[in-house]
Amino acid sequence: MRKTLYLLKGQLPADVESAITTAAFIEGHRCEFLNAQQRLADCSIQAQLLQQKEINCSKANDIRAKVDLVENSRPSIVNEIDRLRAQKYKLLKELDFVNAALSVEESKLENLPIAIKEMKENMKTPVREAVRLHKLIKPISGTADQDQQKINEIDQICHSAIDAIQKLLGSA
């Protein structure tokens, strides 16, 4: 190509001759071309690496924030554990109280037949006495008001007699 360019030198317009001359000596730019290509490839790789680095930094920051949150949650977790333990202790005490009350009531229920039997035995004596006394009770005629009236009448007769006797003795 250089030989042809040398033969055509001066016969072509200047702008065409300049373009062909540059093309004829293109091999001299090969290293620059390859270096430029390599730099473009390296820039593309560097851009991808930078993007991956930023993504990983962002992920790391997110994870760090979560770690900080988890690390800072320890006191609240400890407080919740303490609260739950206190509640557990309170409930266990209440359960002990309920179990004791339940045992008492179960014992009462268990002893109920014996207590009923004893009460029935104790009831027999008063019932027998009530029956005996019932048999001794006789019907009384009249009412209490009538009896009181009769007593008052007789009492009046006695008073009248005493007054008459005292009058007679008092005049003598």
Average pLDDT estimate for 108-124: 94
Q: Which pLDDT band holds residue 139 (cuts at 50, 70, 90)?
A: confident
> Is residue 23 one of the residues assigned to a domain?
yes
pTM over 0.85: no
pLDDT at 71: 87
pLDDT higher for 15 or 162?
Answer: 162
Is 66 within a domain? yes
122 located within any domain: no
Tell me whether residue 168 is in a domain: no
**b/e for 120-138, b at 16 or more Cβ within 10 A?**
eeeeeeeeeeeeeeeeeee
Helix (H) or strand (E) run with residue 54 in it: helix 30-72
Domain that holds residue 39: 1-72
Determine, yes or no, domain membership for 5.
yes
- Asked whether residue 85 carries a pLDDT value surpassing 70, the answer given is yes
> Helix 30-72 to helix 74-136 angle, to the nearest 10 degrees?
30
Q: For the chain, what percent of residues have pLDDT higher than 90? A: 62
| 164 in a structural domain | no
Checking if the pLDDT of 2 tops 70, the result is no
CB 17 within 8 A of CB 9: yes
- The mean pLDDT value for 112-120 works out to 94
User: Within a domain: residue 27?
Assistant: yes
Residue 159 lies in a domain: no
Quickly state the pLDDT bin for 11 (edges 50, 70, 90): confident
Number of structural domains (the chain) is 1
**Residue with the larger pLDDT of the pair 68 and 11:** 68
**Residue 114, pLDDT score:** 94
Amino acid, res. 159: H
Q: Fill in the DSSP letter of residue 142.
A: S
